[in-house]
Amino acid sequence: MEKILISSCFLGNKVRYDGKAKALVHPQISTWQQQGRLVVVCPEVAGGLSVPRAKAEQQAGKVINNLGQDVSAEFQHGADLALQLCQRYNIRYALLKEYSPSCGSHEIYDGNFNDTKIKGQGVTAKLLTANNVEVYSELNIAQLIVKITHPNNAEQV
């Protein structure tokens, strides 16, 4: 059965920097959960950061929080652990939170902490993509559903 790596905050877990969740309410998520497909990760917590934690954004190849601290190592460690999960469970698809400096797959914040978004990938999304894991977000979950349920994938499901 095709497993899917999923952002922990999507499942209602309060792991975000602000101590809150970002639940993704979708019937397919419940179905996948019941089927045992979901492998849950919060890369930032896995990487050693606390809840809550200072807001962080990518700046010139590093991840800096709004206290001016370089948290690149924690972000990279979390990304490495997420990739290890994918390798352990032969995961080819991930559903990760858009705009996150870890999980964003198409857009992230620009590093100035003024809510400006730019094209780019979070640290984890980038590493997974480079290792042939397709990363989807709440914005294109419909495409992931097709991937998982399309008849052409039937032999892998």
Q: Which residues bind ligand SF4 (CB under 6 A)?
A: 7-9, 15-16, 42-44, 97, 100, 102-103
Q: Which is nearer to ligand SF4, 65 or 102 (CB)?
A: 102
The Cα–Cα gap between 54 and 67 comes to 7
How far apart are CB 40 and ligand SF4 at their closest, in Å? Answer: 9
Ramachandran category for residue 116: left, alpha or beta (phi over 0 → left; psi -120 to 50 → alpha): beta
Mapped onto helix, strand or coil, the DSSP state of residue 13 is coil
**What distance in Å separates the CA atoms of residue 22 and residue 77, rounded to the nearest whole number?**
22
Q: What is the DSSP string of 34-94?
A: HHT-EEEE-HHHHTT--SS---EEEETTEEEETTS-B-HHHHHHHHHHHHHHHHHTT--EE
* 128's tokens: 């997974």
Minimum distance between the CB of residue 145 and ligand SF4, rounded to whole angstroms? 20
Distances, alpha carbon 37 to alpha carbons 32, 41, 75, 92, 100, in Å: 5, 13, 25, 12, 23
* Smallest separation, CB 149 to ligand SF4 (Å): 24
Nearer to ligand SF4, 79 or 148 (CB): 79
Q: How far is the CB of 1 from ligand SF4 (least distance, A)?
A: 23
CB of 125 to ligand SF4, least distance (A): 9
Closest to ligand SF4 by CB, 66 vs 149, is 66
| Cβ-based nearer residue to ligand SF4, 117 or 150 | 117
Nearer to ligand SF4 among residue 42 and residue 146 (C-beta): 42
